[in-house]
Amino acid sequence: MELSPGTVVDRYTVDTLLGRGGMATVYRVRHNQLGSLHALKVLHTGGPHVTERLVLEGRLQGGLHHPGVLRVTDLVEIEGHPALVLEFVDGCTLEELLNQSGRLDDERADWLARRILEAVAAAHRHGLIHRDLKPGNVLLSEVDGTLQPKVADFGLAKALDTGSGPTATGVAMGTPAYMAPEQFRDAAAVDARADVFSLGAMLYELVTGRRAFEGDSMQEVMWRTVNGDYTPVRDHGPLPAAWEAAIDGALRSDPDERIGSVEDLLAIWGGDAAAPAWKLPEHVPTFDAPTGLHPSMSELMEQADAPHIAEHLASCAACRVERKLYREAFSVEGHAPRRWPRGLAGAGLGALTGLAVLAAGLGGLGQLVMLGPWWPPLLVLAAIGGARLGVGSHALAAGRGKGLVSWHLSPALLLVLGMAGCGMGAMVAAGVLPHAAVVDVPAMVAAGASVTLMAWSAAQLLATALLLATLGLVVWTRRLASRAFDPGPVGVAIGGGAVLWLAEAVLATDRTATLLVYATVVAAGGLLALLPDEGPADAHGRLVGGTAAALAGASAALGVQILDLQALLEEAAHSQQWEPAEGALAAQAFGEAWSQALNPWTLAWVGLAALVGLAVLLRGRARLPGAGRDLGRLAAVLVVVVGPAAAWNARVTQELVDALVPAWQAAAVAAQVPGLVLRAEGEGLVAAAEAMDPLVPGDQLVAVDGLAFHEAAPLVEHLAERDGPEVVPVTVTREQRLLEIELSLASE
């Protein structure tokens, strides 16, 4: 909406256009009766929240009277749009003055600093927070031979005693180079200390001629602001110690460590020199010169493809930044890319990747049937994980971080599903075991292991792949054109992994797949080394990547332990057919390995993976607000979701193992002495119902052929090598009596 000269607006007539900003256009108008000059600020884009902000500006400022604050004199309406009538200042902005003059001398810097601090302190006493203090919002006019600053545009103000309303929406409003770090996190929760920070940035620029927080991109400026990364003011030249203390105290990133109020800041700044003789430089543009006007925000948003607007955007960084901030702040419809295509593509890739991982791990697609009913839900969870990664990468690319739980929930559910498969298989096997013929136990157990431990190991493998995919996607999304390389994580991974791998090769020759864990940890460390560290969004990427690396290494280490258990069980089943004694030993080794919930090597690899993930978090320059809370939530989900599944699986599988090892030993003995059919009872073996006469069910086995029974393997080996009669003496206890019975070695 344009107002041409001569247009009558309520009691005012438009003289000329003064300028345009992101949310309003400003005209110079004249009161029809009094002839006084005023500035008319007209909102040029709709929206109830924006309108409420403008109305609130007029109401709050209307009751504030201070020579350093631009007064609001009236509130009018133009074609349904509210407009503020403001005190007219015939001058320039502080930003324009600094752009021309650069660093001010101490006398003039002190004069302007104190006048600006006094004005903002008065506004705070009145109950106002500005939240967008910057040199462009300070107007300068000549008064009594010097320059008088006036703080303008309290349109982003918030009453100190209200906790709701149009500005309590959480939208980060302000200018990045001057915004307090807490405004980036939660604009609704800021207080007067946010203005203290902005004033510190302005004071820094007054006395140095440079901005405190500079960068080649908006993200870099935001990162430097959040992390308090600025050149100390003393490095720009000698200054009064009080000024240095005031600026450094105002620019603290943590509001609790910052100077608490503008009045305190003014007191620390100190002395009050007389007003210097000062006039506006003749060639500084004033508000009377509407040259070089920027297009209105409505034109920038709605006509971005028009040739003249596109040309202006190509040459004007300020308009590009303002347009981007406006889109982010008000979520203009039609500009937010849809997320579902990424989610759908991610789901498809997740399912295909899951299929490929399972096929590679099992030895071909035809082996999927070995997983029984568990392979479809495994693939479904892989697809869900892929979809979540697709949506998460979109958010990360846009600089919006999703919580760690959102990133890592699918791998956690895969672990739960694998444990459920193992536990349910163990329950079925434990129920069938007592009813099976003793000699059939090894074959039944070997077949059952294909569904139980294989389902668990497959889930661990898929979870590891999904976590590595998460890490790779974060690196690919955040790296962009960065050439950063952090040797810390990859150094920890390669060095620590080499030590563990070599130690296992020497000390634990029974470990079969540690190379898989080593490769996983090194791959994770290599990817982490590529993560950039240039802004707040990168800090979130490093948090996601670090936790993904730690969880991937832990998942791979646990998966290797499961593969070792599976190998021991398969070895026992294979040996039972040809070497019963070896089968009994392997079964006993399996039982001992299972009872040791996490062996020391597994714990060592888990610890190394955690160190690799921790390295990228500790070495990052950016501090991510809420990282501890996010990590706590992830830990809580893992404890609540994975913990009960792991405890249940461990209990039911341990019950199976407790019955399995004695049953295996009994099968090995029965293979040598067919009539000696035994079953487990307590820590020993007793005669089963199928035992040959004169054995009675329940007879406790004590010795065979004079060899006391402690472990099945030595006994079976002795019987296999025995060269003697076809009968063998068996010693048992029955009703607290010791009996010796002879049994034939020949099978009936």
Give phi and psi for 742, each to the nearest 5: -100, 130
The pair of structure tokens assigned to 160 is 């100190």
CA 216, 219, 221, 223 dihedral sign is: negative
pLDDT higher than threshold 50 for residue 337: no
* Pair 503, 592 in one domain: yes
The helix-helix angle for 375-397 and 441-479 (nearest 10°) equals 10
The pLDDT value given to residue 411: 86
Judge if 201 and 141 occupy the same domain. Answer: yes
Question: What local confidence, expressed as pLDDT, does residue 584 receive?
Answer: 66
Given 33, 53, 88, the domain boundary residue is 88
Query: For the residues 134-148, what does the mean pLDDT come to?
Result: 86
- Summarize the confidence of residues 433-439 as an average pLDDT: 62
**For residue 77, which phi and psi values (nearest 5 degrees)?**
-130, 135
On whether both 429 and 577 belong to a single domain, the answer is yes
pLDDT at 308 over 80: no
pLDDT at 469 over 50: yes
Residue of 91, 129, 128 whose CA lies nearest to 112: 91
Q: pLDDT band for position 721 (50/70/90)?
A: confident
Q: Is residue 246 domain-shared with residue 98, that is, in the same domain? A: yes
Span of 36-50, 215-229, 247-261 with lowest mean pLDDT? 36-50
Q: Residue 289: which pLDDT band, with cuts at 50, 70 and 90? A: very low
The upper half-sphere exposure of residue 426, i.e. CA atoms within 13 Å in the direction of its Cβ, equals 24
Give me the mean pLDDT over the 371-376 stretch: 75
Query: In CATH, what number is assigned to the domain containing residue 162?
Result: 1.10.510.10
Residue 137 above 90 pLDDT? no
> Per-residue pLDDT for 748 more than 80?
no
Q: Which helix (H) or strand (E) holds 78?
A: strand 72-78
Question: What does the block give as tokens for 734?
Answer: 């029955």
Residues 681 and 719 in one domain: yes
486 φ/ψ angles, rounded to the nearest 5 degrees: -105, 110
Q: What is the rounded distance in angstroms from the CA atom of residue 212 to the CA atom of residue 233?
A: 8
* Domain assignment present for 385: no
Q: Report the first-to-last Cα separation within the chain, whole angstroms.
A: 106
Residues 43, 158, single domain; the answer is no
Residue 372: inside a domain = no
Among the listed residues 735, 530, 538, 727, the one whose alpha carbon sits nearest the alpha carbon of residue 621: 538
Banded model confidence at residue 375, pLDDT cuts 50, 70, 90: confident
The three-state secondary structure class of 510 is coil
Q: Which residues contact 39 (CB under 8 A, 6 or more apart)?
A: 18, 26, 27, 28, 29, 85, 86, 87, 88, 89, 287
Given 242, 269, 296, the domain boundary residue is 269
In this structure, what token pair is assigned to residue 742? 């002879």
pLDDT for the residue 291 = 38
The Cα diameter of the chain in Å comes to 134
Rounded CA separation 211/234 (Å) = 14
**134 and 248 housed in the same domain:** yes
Which pLDDT score, from 0 to 100, does residue 568 have? 67
Determine contact, residues 393/473, Cβ cutoff 8 Å. Answer: yes
Same domain as 176, residue 111: yes
Task: Please indicate, yes or no, if residue 467 is contained in any of the structural domains.
Answer: yes
In whole angstroms, give the CA distance from residue 314 to residue 164: 39
Please state, in angstroms and rounded to a whole number, the distance separating the CA atoms of residues 667 and 439.
5
Are 9 and 17 spatial neighbours (Cβ–Cβ below 8 Å)?
no
Domain of residue 12: give its range. Answer: 1-88
57 three-state secondary structure: helix
Highest mean pLDDT among 337-346, 478-487, 739-748: 739-748
User: Which tens digits make up the pLDDT trace of 67-80?
Assistant: 898 888 887 878 76
Query: Within a domain: residue 473?
Result: yes
How far apart CA 75 and CA 82 sit, in angstroms, is: 7
3-state class (DSSP) for residue 310: helix
CA–CA distance from 702 to each of 687, 693, 705, 733 (Å)?
Answer: 11, 17, 10, 7
**3-state secondary structure (DSSP) of residue 85:** strand
pLDDT band at 286 (very low <50, low <70, confident <90, very high): very low
CB-CB neighbours of 697 under 10 Å = 12
Residue that terminates a domain, selected from 215, 246, 269: 269
**Catalytic annotation present for 132:** yes
What's the CATH number where 55 sits?
Answer: 3.30.200.20
- For the chain, the average pLDDT equals 74
CB-side neighbour CA atoms (13 Å) of 20: 19
Share of the chain above pLDDT 70, in %: 66
Higher pLDDT, 641 or 622: 641
In this predicted structure, the answer to whether residue 547 has a pLDDT above a threshold of 50 is yes
Task: Count CB-CB contacts under 10 A for residue 679.
Answer: 20
> Taking Cα atoms as reference points, which of 500, 473, 262 lies closest to residue 387?
473
Cβ–Cβ < 8 Å for 56, 98: no
Q: Are 130 and 156 in contact (CB under 8 A)?
A: yes
Give how far Cα 585 sits from Cα of 33, 96, 97, 255, 717, Å.
Answer: 109, 87, 88, 66, 11
Provide the domain count of the chain: 4
pLDDT above 60: residue 163: no
Residue 59 confidence (pLDDT) above 70: no
Strand, helix or coil at 150? strand
Residue spans of alpha helices (H) in 106-180: 106-125
Sign of CA dihedral 147, 149, 150, 155: positive
Q: Give the DSSP H/E element, type plus range, for residue 9.
A: strand 8-9
CATH number of the domain enclosing 702: 2.30.42.10
Q: Is residue 221 part of a domain?
A: yes
Grade residue 45 by pLDDT with cuts at 50, 70 and 90: low
pLDDT of 157 reads: 43
Q: Tell me which residue of 44, 31, 123, 105 sits closest to 78, measured CA to CA.
A: 44
Residue 99 and residue 51 in one domain? no
Between CA 118 and CA 113 the distance in angstroms is 9
Q: Looking at the predicted structure, is the pLDDT value of residue 732 above 80? A: yes
Residue 71 in domain: yes
User: Which range, 123-137, 194-208, 303-317, 526-540, has the best average confidence (pLDDT)?
Assistant: 194-208
pLDDT at 579: 63
Report helix angle 643-672 to 536-578, nearest 10: 10
Please indicate, yes or no, whether residues 127 and 209 belong to a single structural domain of this protein: yes
Structure-derived torsion over alpha carbons of residues 425, 428, 434, 435, reported in degrees to the nearest 10 = -130
- What is the structure's pLDDT at 700? 82
Catalytic residue among 10, 74, 90, 132: 132
DSSP single-letter state for residue 71: P
Res. 435: pLDDT tops 50: yes
Q: What is the pLDDT of residues 183-217, one digit of tens each?
A: 876 665 678 899 999 999 999 999 998 999 887 76
The CA–CA distances, whole Å, from 412 to 372, 587, 597, 727 equal 21, 31, 19, 57
What's the pLDDT at 434?
A: 64
Phi, psi of 569 (to 5 degrees): -70, -40
**pLDDT above 50 (res 335):** no
Q: So what's the pLDDT on residue 90?
A: 85
The predicted structure's pLDDT at residue 261? 92
CA distance 561 to 565: 6
18 lies in the same domain as 110:
no
Residue 172 lies in a domain: yes
Q: How far apart are CA 255 and CA 602, in angstroms?
A: 44
> Which range among 235-249, 269-283, 368-382, 519-533 shows the weakest confidence by mean pLDDT?
269-283
Mean local confidence (pLDDT), 462-480: 77
Q: For the residues 273-280, what does the mean pLDDT come to?
A: 63
- What are the pLDDT digits (tens) for 594-615? 666 566 777 887 888 888 888 8
* 153 and 136 Cβ atoms separated by less than 8 Å: no
d(Cα 251, Cα 66) in Å, to the nearest integer?
A: 26
Please tell me the predicted confidence (pLDDT) of residue 96.
Answer: 86
Could you tell me if residue 560 is inside a domain? yes
Is there a single domain that holds both residue 58 and residue 105? no
